[in-house]
Every structure is written in structure tokens, then in C-alpha cells.
Structure 1
Amino acid sequence: MPSRTRKPPVDRHQLQQIVSGLSEGIVLIDPAGAVVWANETALAIHGVETLAQFGESAAAYARTFRLRYRNHHELPVAQYPIRRALRAEAFADLVVEVTRRDDLDFCRIHQVRSLALTDAAGDVESLVLAIQDVSERYEAEQRFERTFAANPAPALICRVADLRYVKVNDGFLEMTGYRREDVLDHSAYEIDVLEDAPQRDAAIADLHAGRTIAQTEATLKLPDGSSKFVIVAGQPIPLGEEECVLFTFIDLDLRKKAEDALRHSERRFATAFRLAPVPMMLTTLSPARLIEVNEAFLAGTGYPKDQLTGGDATELAVWQDARVFAALLAQVERSGSVRGREMALSSRDGSTIDCLASAEAVSIDDQPCALCAFQDITQRKRSEAELITAIEAVMQDASWFSRTVIEKLALARRSGSKDGQGELADLTPREREVLGLICEGLSDADIARTLRMSRHTVRNHVATIYSKIDVHRRSAAVVWARERGIVGYEPPAKRTRRTPK
């Protein structure tokens, strides 16, 4: 009986050299079932140092590690990625939670894909698992989820790609009476948050383009068939890998009801004005003389009535910028009304009250006047600031965000910041090079290889940079650098040379 020719052993040495330094974890598996090699990254993201600790077979791996789906359902051992690879199943972007049976504190989130390597004859030589540790990404998303859900400001997040709502918080549900399932995955055309907006077409175009939508009045249709007047604004934000728009809302029903009551009956004007829950004032036009303020205005600002009424309405101490109120009255005189103009008031105790001012031209005893209403948005602006701060914290802490996202954050923070050129001048050319490589996501070891210096020297440069720019971690240094135009490593030969005078 003729003997079969045995295949020579597979030489994987060169392959191991190629993949050993990859940022992904790489595991090589023999078709017979043995785990023959794993690079340092694969071992590190499993919390082990040797292949024996990792598991030299699929069975040994399962004895050490327990895997769950993201919904916390445990994977059967037969569905472990290593088992599926041995069955020649191709899969990509499988996300699993990995824990160790001997260490309850160990927990990582892995994204796994499989690959089969074949020889010239098409026979499988090796099976490969490529594993990426995405723990920081999922932890960041969980922090954002908690912050968004707990924020009291009514809010929705709409995905730009298909204009469907992907997030809704309790504040929006309480304001409208919708159920969560009535909103999520429904289109912006089904629940139209821009209905009756004065510049509706422009706002919709901004939504399609993922641009900022300036605050505007709109009407929300409620589940019971009624409507609610709101002020809505849209802010573009990235959510994972998708571009989205964050909508925030102010309920205007109280203000609308107060305005309607004043229009319905002049005989009830005084009572409605005095008892209206929204701060209001009545002033003449040309010249601007304050006639009356209601109790809500006095309570909100803390001023006694005799310090406000009777004088020039544009010179009151309540305005942080009197020119803004004067411009509002001028617009009322020209067009008859103003809606949703943002302005700041100063209370008697010196604190700032952020408001949206609306005004309507009225006639009192044949005298042209302006009826002004002020919607206090101080809490809403604080809530929005807290929400954006939470997103910013997530972005700073999550190294998995792209350079584009970091640059958007830097642009958003640049408003009101100092030029910073003097601060850049404090860095030496070598420190500028190190900072540029940090912006590209390189580790100290990678920077040392790129600049041909020791890791100790790199650490000293990093510590000096932190001290000079007053930051304490890498993510903060990246944001600081982006704000000042440093986006990556710039070799000395490419930097602009100054010609000596």
C-alpha cells in the first residue's frame, strides 16, 4: 500500500514577526485545534503573560475565560470565537464581554473577527482571531447614556443619516406624554419638532446637513392630538461613529397662555398681566418709559417696583446690556413684534438671569407701547452646559475617538479662549515634536522610536510639556494642542524657517 506524503510542518515564524507588533491582538490556531501563538497585545488584553495562561487549546481557553454578549447573556462554549473559527465560520465585529473565572475583577470588552490563511493549494494552514480591546469605548458610551438620561432638560437625539430618533430622555417624555417606544426609531417626519417654525425650510436643511439649528419657536403635536408651543434648538454631536443632532426644548405653553389671555380681553388685561406666571413689563415707545411690571418680574429680579417704573426703560439697572433692550424696542416699533431674543438680566443680588425676550406692539390709551415677556432659561442653559460638559469629558477620556471628533471639540472650546501663541512659544522645538506625536496617538515607546531617543528622555519631555501647558493627562494635552493648531508631528525640515535679519 503506497504511503501518503506528509505535509511538512507549517513555518509561521515570518508571519509571527509581521503581526507581533500590531495594535490588535492576534491569535494563531492550528486547524487541528491547538493555539500555536498569540502576540503580546492578545495576551495583555486577556490579562495574561504567557500562552499557557491564555490556553493552548479551545478547551483550555474556555476553562479560563467566560464570555457574554453585551446583553449579559452568557455564550455557550460552542459559540466562543475560537470554536467558531475552528468550524471555519467567518465573522467580523463580534462584540463580547470577557471575564476570567479565577479573577472576578477582570472584565474587558473585545471586538473579534476571524480569518483563514491558506497555502498555494487552497488548504487552510492557520486560523486567525484578530481581537481589539474596546472597553474604553463602551465605558464612555455608558457614561454618556447615564448623563443624557438623567438630564432634566427635554432632549432628543436624531441620527443625520436617516433622520430617525436614537435617544430620548425622560424630560422630553414628561413634557409631551409620549412613550419611549413611540419616539425611538421613529422619523423626524413622524414626530416633527420643527413644525410651524418661522424658518422651517432652512432649519430642515441644517438638519439634513448635520449643522447647528438656531433656537426657534415651533409647535409639537402631542399623542392626544393637542399641540404644545416650544422653543427648540439643535446641536450637532457625534454618537459613536454616527453624526447626530441633539435637540433641546423649552416649554412655552405658560407664556403662550399669558399672551393669549391679554389679547382676548382688554378688560381682563390688568388682572392677567399682574398674575401672569411669566415675568412681563409694559413700556411706551419713543420715548421708552416703563409703565408697569408684573409680580413675576419683581419676584424674579428682586427689585422693588418703585426702583423700576416711571423712568427711562432703557436705563434700568436690570439690563446687563441696555443696548440689547433698546434694539428690541426699536424692532417692535418697526415690525410690531419680536420673538425669542436672547438677553441677560441682572437681579438685585448681582446674579445673572438668562432670558428669551418676546415683545408685541399694543396700544394703551392710544399710546404706542410694547408688552414684553421674559422666559427664564437660566436652568436650561445650565442643563445644556452640563450635557455638553459630559460629552466633552467622554471625548477627552476616550482615546478611540477619531481626530475629526477631537478637532470638533477643540473648535467648540476655542470660543472665548486666548490666542495661546505665547504659550506655544514656551515649548522647545523638540517638545513641539513630542506634542505633535502625542496628538497622533503614539505611546512613549513609539515616540522614542520615531525621534530616536530613549523612553526615559521622552517621559521627561512629556512631563515638561504637561508642566508648561498646565495639564495632567494625554487627552487634555491633545485638546490643548488642537486648540492651537497642532494636529500632528511636523518634521523639522517642514517647519517654517525664519530668515535671520
Structure 2
Amino acid sequence: MSKSQLLLELNELRRKVMALEESKKYNNLSPAMRALKLAQEKFSQAFHCCPDILTVTTLNEGRYIEANEAFLKITGYTRSEVIGHTARELRLWANLEDRDLVVEQILVTGSIRNFEMQFRNKYNELLTTLLSIDKFEVDGEPFLICVVKDINDRKRMVEQLRLSEERFSKAFNSSPVTMTISTLEEGLLLDVNDSFCRTLGVSKNEVIGLTSAEIDFWVNPAQREEMKQSVLENRSVTEMEVQFRRQSGEVRWGQYSAERININGQICLLSLFTDLTERRQMEIEMSRLDRLNLVGEMAASIAHEIRNPMTTVRGYLQLLKDDLKYINEGVYFDLMIEELDRANAIISEFLSLAKGKSVELKPHSLNAILRNIYPLLQTNARLQDRGINLMLDEIPDIMIDEKEIRQLVFNLVNNGLESIAAGSAVMIRTYKQDNQVVLAIQDDGYGIDQKILENLGTPFFTTKAQGTGLGLTVCYGIAARHNAKIDFETGPDGTTFFVRFPIY
């Protein structure tokens, strides 16, 4: 056997002898000592493998006796830089007052749990942590075992979430678009923005915690069910045209969109809608004007051609009626003449729609015109057991055609008289608002049915047995020729028509 082989054999033999000696020592230990040694080994392994920071320090000085790998990794220090030194020497405490508070509580209670603190690593970076400490003694000397949990990432996420929620809250509340957050099933309002409050004429406190049904938001509840079904199937609904009701009872048009969101495990809706009422009214007005122009063109073309032969027919009917041979048929002649007169009245209204009809605009006092025709209006009202009331504010003169304004007032007042009960009265008011003079004609009838509203002003549309369907159409035509605008408010307590004249 060579010398090198002999040396290898000798070293192996020496290793085995040492292992036998260690085994002999371990076997000679009592069971209690063996269990203690095993527990120490397990503790040491768990101590150094723990992902959270673990340290053992003296209580009196805070000198590090032991620190695990997580401590070294997170702080950036080596073991030799830590063991035997204090946290104060390493400048770990971002706020020394925190250490004083911790020591004070340890002395009183012997422990501390989840104390949020900041410490500084080797590279002067601040880390946010949760500190837990327990006191223990060895041979009468107090020590501390400390557990430090790094919550820097969690704090960052919480801060990012807070900022995100803050940005959403600002966008939600300052958005000019009406927005709500509600439950899908019941429509319970969890939050609404300022635009919602302005649009509906409510305050947040009045609606938060109520359902859309309780605030009577949906004019047609079936539309909400349709929306709900769409959200369940498609997670969202986009640009759905709906009707909604303001707190005052006014019905308006809107474009509704909603997205399904989850809040604490509950299916909710982030809803937004745009009030399209003005745009829709403009579309209706444009359509009405188109029809008005068409009727006006027809009026100019055929009204005179129709009126001339009718005048001839009426004259001969009058002659025949006076003929003694037809004395017994007088009632029939009266009926025919009456119907011809009614047709002639329709043609007169028809002619007033003629496109390009000339008007003579002059400075006039609207109040003076109303006072002049008041006796005639009052006489007509009394014949129907009704009345007329005037409430005229001081207003400037405006550019108007007196004849046309008389006709406009007669038509609107007659509509009001037909809408009220016996013993009631129509109120005629004038006042100045911004750069306009406003003529308001108000009745206390039952309001205008929703189905009729969109057809108001349409030529030949009427709900009256003997109506021509041209009275309000004529009013719109007169207003257009005066650069005025007609709008109205209607509800269960009555209807008010407003004619708004510009002040030049």
C-alpha cells in the first residue's frame, strides 16, 4: 500500500472514531437533555429560515445577540456588523421616540403587538413595519425576542388604493355627467354625484339609502327591468334611451349607460346618463317647424282657391234658405251654412300659416294690448262660467305685430278656458326675465297627458270634437315670426304656456 493510500485510510479512520465519540456522548445524555438539544436545533433552524425579521437583544441596552437571515437581507448589514451592536448604533430607528415607547410598554406589560414603526436600512431607505416583542429571561438577565414584519409593499398598495379611490371620488363627484352607484337587484342608491342632484332637484341626504322606485325615478319601470336583464346577460348596457322623473314631477329624456361592478361581494351598478331633454325638444321643434313650413306652403297655394267657391256656395245657400219654398228645410240650410262658416274659419287659420307671411313689427306695449282685449276675453270667459285674471308687471316695449299678438293670446286663452272647470279662471301674467319679456298663460286644469305632449303644435292634431288642430300651430307660427319661443310646464295642477319675446 502506498504512502498516500495509507494517509487516506488513516484520515477516514480518524473521522469514524470522532463520529463514534460524538454518538457515545449523545447516547450518554439523558432523554431530557437529548430532547432539549433537538428542540434547540429546531428552533435555530426555524429562527434563521423565517421570512420575517427575528432578533434577540438585551433589554437594558438593546444589544443584538442574534439576528436571522431575513434581518440581514432586509437591512443590508452583515452579521458581523450587527451582532454585539445596538439598533441605536446602527441608526435603525427612524424615530427614537418610538423605541422609548416600546421599552416603556415592555417594562409595564412584558410584550407588545403589531406596533407600526419605521426603520432605516443600511442604505438610508425608510421601511414601514409591524413590530411585536416578548420579554424572556436567561439566568436572571432580561432579553427581548423581536418579530418585525415588513409591510412596506402593503402600505404602498394601500396608499395606491387610497389615491385611486380619491381620484375616482373626485372624478365621480365633479363629473358633469349624472352618475350613481346602486345595487343591481333593488336599485338601492349607495352614492350619487352632484350632477345627479342638480338634474333631479334633490340633495344627497334625500336619496342615499332609497331605491330608484322610492324616488320615482323611472317613468316606465319596465325600462329598469330591461336594463337589469341586459346587465345580467352582457355585464353592461350602453346608450339606452329612457325617461326619468325629477323631484318636481317633470318628465325628462336621458341616455342611460351602466357597468356591473362588485362591492363587498354584492353585484352593483355604476350608472351614468346624459339629460337629452333639450336636444330632444330641439329635434321635436325642428320637426314641427318642417311640418309648419309644409303647411304654410300648402296654405299659400290652395287656401284662396278653396275660399272663393265656398263663398259662392254660402251665398246661394242663404238665398235658398230665404226662399219660401224651402221654409221647412231651414234647419238644414242653417246647418250647412254653419259648417261652411266653420270651414272658412279653418281656412283663415290655415292662411295665417302661410310661409313668408308679412308682419309689421313695431314697438308696442304688450301690457297695453292685453288691457285692450281684456274686456273681450272676460266676456267670452263669463259665457262659459269662467274668468280671466291679469297680473301685469312693468315691462319694456317690444317689437311685435299687434294683430298677431291678439290672435296668439286669444288662441292660448281659449285653450286654457277649455281645460278648466266651471268657476275657475285663467291667469295672464307678464314679467321681465333676463333679456326677455315673458307672457305666461296659466290654467289650473288636469295638465296635458304624456301621450299628447310630443304632438303639441302639430298641424291638424286635436283632442277636441270640434277642434281644427291649428290653434296652437298658429301660435307657434306667430312666435317664430317674432323671434319668440314658446315652452310650457304641465302637471296635475295645471299647465302654463310661456311666450318669451326678445328685448332689442
Q: TM-score, normalised by structure 1?
A: 0.33
State the TM-score, normalized to the length of structure 2. Answer: 0.33
